[in-house]
Amino acid sequence: MAQEERMLIVGGERLEGTVRVSGGKNTSVAIIPATILSSTPCVIENLPNIEDVHVSVETLRYLGARVDWDPAEGLMQVDASSINRTDVPLDLCRRMRASSYYIGALLARFGRAQVPLPGGCDIGRRPIDQHIKGMRALGARVDTQRGTVIAEADPLVGADVFLDMATVGGTINVMLAASRAQGTTTIYNAAKEPHIVDLANFLNSMGCRVKGAGTDVIRVRGTQTLASRRPYAVIPDQIETGTLMIAAAATHGDVTITGCIPTHMEALTAKLLEMGAKVYEHDDSIRVRSLGAHRGVTFKTQVYPGFPTDLQQPMSALLCTATGTSTVVENIFESRFRHLAEMERMGARVRIFEQTAVIEGVPMLHGAAVEATDLRAGAALVVAGLMAQGTTEIYNTHFIDRGYENLEQKFASLGARISRVRE
Ligand code: EPZ
């Protein structure tokens, strides 16, 4: 039986040079379902060649849309006029958490949707009760039968939606449903992440009227006909940018990340500066240099513009060799520390108390065989492997492929000794 594919890293190389960040995963998985709303074909640019985008393409094709997708160019053309069904199959929902967005998009376009509940994962339960609360507020009848959400509305009517927490997915789903509802929807306690703004800009480029995206109150004036008139390029990936910044610091390297948006990175930049790394911001690039030892820091994950939960895992890897004690508080998901147990195999010294991890800095990590348990845990293990002495083997690389385009090629181009093996 062929051995499982794994990533092999010989650590200790300083990362140096320039690397371009890919288009954003979390914005792409929101904008692709939004193409269902357009009465004209949509052209989307700068899409990353990652598993979640492939699953999104399969989902649109399953529904009957015509999709031309060039992974190398990051270019996609969607003609949703031929969609002839409103149910998403379980096997596609199992492969991508963002399948829940098809509830809002299909309800808005067809008045009905049948989408299996997204499974939980290693970072927490991840319910979608707020998504359902939002659909019901817009007048939809929503039932959950045998693990599948069945929603109907004729028609959706704009309303006030008060989210119990600033949920990214909940905000996105309600925006999608509200875009073609009758009247205006106001979303209170809305998430403010960069990809919320990107989705609003895409909806507005199709003739919708979304105001307030990026603040905690978003107003969507429903528009019966939405029509894409020009190509739309998704924003760069905030979390890939952060992962590359953290890896640059972790290897005491000197890396310039181009095609990014520095203002999206402020919470991480502040922490890297506090640790003693140097960060230089330009219009669409960030340079990270680190020469001396890093000071340990404390950080707590928060909704945007706070420290992103998706960077908690890679950052905790960097803190394993910082001087002194660091404290990490994970406020967004209930179990997002599983990567730390894997890093203990590499010599990390960590104690966990519920949502708080206390990391005692050690002089050096050493290579080991470790397993990725989710996407960003995989990224954390790559960072740990890059800075460790010796060789690290990372299993379950499919998690990494969900959210990072050509990650090892990017790191190899900066001087890392990293490859994939399957024998
Ligand atoms: C999105 O997940 C991202 N995924 C996550 O990125 C990211 O970690 C998260 O936002 C926070 O920024 C995509 O965009 C595809 P939430 P989402 O709804 O929408 C609870 C990655 O690595 N909640 O803001 O699921 C929920 O359980 C992934 O790229 C409810 O209780 O995040 C969580 O504890 C991982 N009920 C918290 O809110 C709901 O109806 C935040 O979840 C919705 C959420």
**CA 314 – CA 311 distance, rounded (Å):** 6
Task: For ligand 1, atom 39, name the residue with the nearest CA.
Answer: 128
Domains 5-22+236-422 and 25-233 share a fold: yes
Distances (CA, A) of 284 to 20, 46, 288: 10, 15, 14
Q: Encoding tokens for residue 135?
A: 């659909």
The rounded radius of gyration (Å) of the Cα atoms in the chain is 21
Q: What is the full DSSP assignment across 265-327? A: GHHHHHHHHHHT-EEEE-SSEEEEE--SPPBP-EEEB-STTSB-GGGHHHHHHHHTTSBSEEE
Q: Do 233 and 205 form a contact (C-beta atoms < 8 A)?
A: no
Q: Encoding tokens for residue 92?
A: 């596609």
- For residue 124, which atom of ligand 1 is closest to its CA? 27
- For residue 403, which atom of ligand 1 is closest to its CA? 29
pTM above 0.95, yes or no: yes
- For residue 123, which atom of ligand 1 is closest to its CA? 35
**Does any ligand 1 atom lie closer than 6 A to the CB of residue 403?**
yes
Q: Do 237 and 24 form a contact (C-beta atoms < 8 A)?
A: yes
DSSP structural state of residue 230: S
Catalytic residue among 42, 93, 121, 208: 121
**CA 415 – CA 417 distance, rounded (Å):** 7
Position 51, amino acid = E
Report the sign of the C-alpha dihedral through residues 329, 331, 334, 340, in that order: negative
Q: What's the 33 CA to ligand 1 centre distance in angstroms? A: 17
Q: What's the 309 CA to ligand 1 centre distance in angstroms? A: 9
DSSP structural state of residue 306: S
Q: Do 319 and 328 form a contact (C-beta atoms < 8 A)?
A: yes
Q: At what angle do helices 238-250 and 266-275 cross, to 10 degrees?
A: 10
Q: What's the 129 CA to ligand 1 centre distance in angstroms? A: 12
Q: Encoding tokens for residue 176?
A: 């999608």
Q: Which fold has domain 25-233?
A: UDP-n-acetylglucosamine1-carboxyvinyl-transferase; Chain (3.65.10)
- For residue 333, which atom of ligand 1 is closest to its CA? 34
Task: For ligand 1, atom 6, name the residue with the nearest CA.
Answer: 310
- Domain regions of the chain by residue span: 5-22+236-422, 25-233
Architecture of the domain whose range is 5-22+236-422 = Alpha-beta prism (3.65)
Determine the straight-line distance between the first and last CA of the chain, rounded to whole angstroms. Answer: 9
**Does any ligand 1 atom lie closer than 6 A to the CB of residue 192?**
no
Best probe residue, ligand 1, of 32, 165, 195 (max atoms within 8 Å of C-beta): 165
Best probe residue, ligand 1, of 93, 121, 332, 336 (max atoms within 8 Å of C-beta): 332
**CA 195 – CA 304 distance, rounded (Å):** 11
**CA 235 – CA 297 distance, rounded (Å):** 30
- For the chain, 423 residues long, give each residue's pLDDT as a single digit of tens: 456 899 999 999 999 999 999 999 999 999 999 999 999 999 999 999 999 999 999 999 999 999 999 999 999 999 999 999 999 999 999 999 899 999 999 999 999 999 999 876 789 989 999 999 999 999 999 999 999 999 999 899 999 999 999 999 999 999 999 999 999 999 999 999 999 999 999 999 999 999 999 999 999 999 999 999 999 999 999 999 999 999 999 999 999 999 999 999 999 999 999 999 999 999 999 999 998 999 999 999 999 999 999 999 999 999 999 999 999 999 999 999 999 999 999 999 999 999 999 999 999 999 999 999 999 999 999 999 999 999 999 999 999 999 999 999 999 999 999 999 986
User: Does residue 260 carry a catalytic annotation?
Assistant: no
